[in-house]
Amino acid sequence: MHEEKNNIIISGIILTFNQANNINNCLKSLVWCNEIIIVDSYSTDQTVEVVKKYTDKIYYRKFDDDFAKQREFAISKAKGEWILVLDADETLPKGAGEIIRKIIKDNNADAFLFPRRNYINEKTYLQHGYFYPDWQLRLFRRKKFIRYNRAVHEYPSVRGNIRKIRTIEIYHNPSKTKYDSFLSFKRFFPYIKIEGKKIAETKESSIRLFSLGIRDIIRDFYWSFIRDQGYKDGIAGFRAALLYSFYRGTVSFYAIFTRIRRIL
């Protein structure tokens, strides 16, 4: 890892589990960080072997259906003043290190939001709807960090000033995208199960959950495809909006299913 530069110490953080197909590009885009922290959930592929080429700060932690806890554990191992978070299937553009250090130096802020490109294939990303700019809070002062919220699609709570930065984007380009085909809906299943089980524990009635599921399907499709102009992405925008809205609605339906299964 790079030594201290301009007195700005940055810790890159990544969670991994069987990400051998993605992790190399992610790590390449973070080599400029002062350290890279990996929290691996006991991968069974070549993920760890790839990671060892870039860092020896590898920690193992069993995944207990809560990404927020994994993130918080990773942050507890970091030494940098600043925390930079990427998913294993995300990358930053070339020259990101210099740009990010300049952003920190030039802005009186404690956290930064970056736009994210969500690719549906190697070259094409969605440019409208929920999927762009898709602001992500991924850079923040460690001492200002409070906690991560939500078990899935977790996001950090931080104290202080937060700024949006457009001079750099996160590239989300997984080897298996959720939006390239209607058949890709099955890739949402792990997230549906985690969220659905947690919602099943709440006090919301099953009738209420059913109505929320229907509402989410209709509302999220309308907001992404119509209000936020996802239609400008053509059939790809239609497919992505439909898949995402059904994912959101199915979470509530799975919560009901979980309750029924416990009774039977």
* Domain total of the chain: 2
* Mean pLDDT estimate for the chain: 96
* 84: containing domain: 10-172
Q: What is the pTM of this model?
A: 0.93
Does the structure show a pLDDT above 80 at 255? yes
Same domain? For 101 and 22 the reply is yes
Q: List the CATH number of the domain containing 81.
A: 3.90.550.10
pLDDT band at residue 1 under the 50/70/90 scheme: low
- Whether 224 is covered by a domain: the verdict is yes
Same domain? For 159 and 193 the reply is no
Here the tokens at position 196 are: 């659905």
pLDDT by residue (tens digit) across 179-230? 989 999 999 999 999 999 999 999 999 999 999 999 999 999 999 999 999 9
pLDDT by residue (tens digit) across 121-176? 989 999 999 999 999 999 999 999 999 999 999 999 999 999 999 999 999 998 88
The pLDDT value recorded for residue 2 is 55
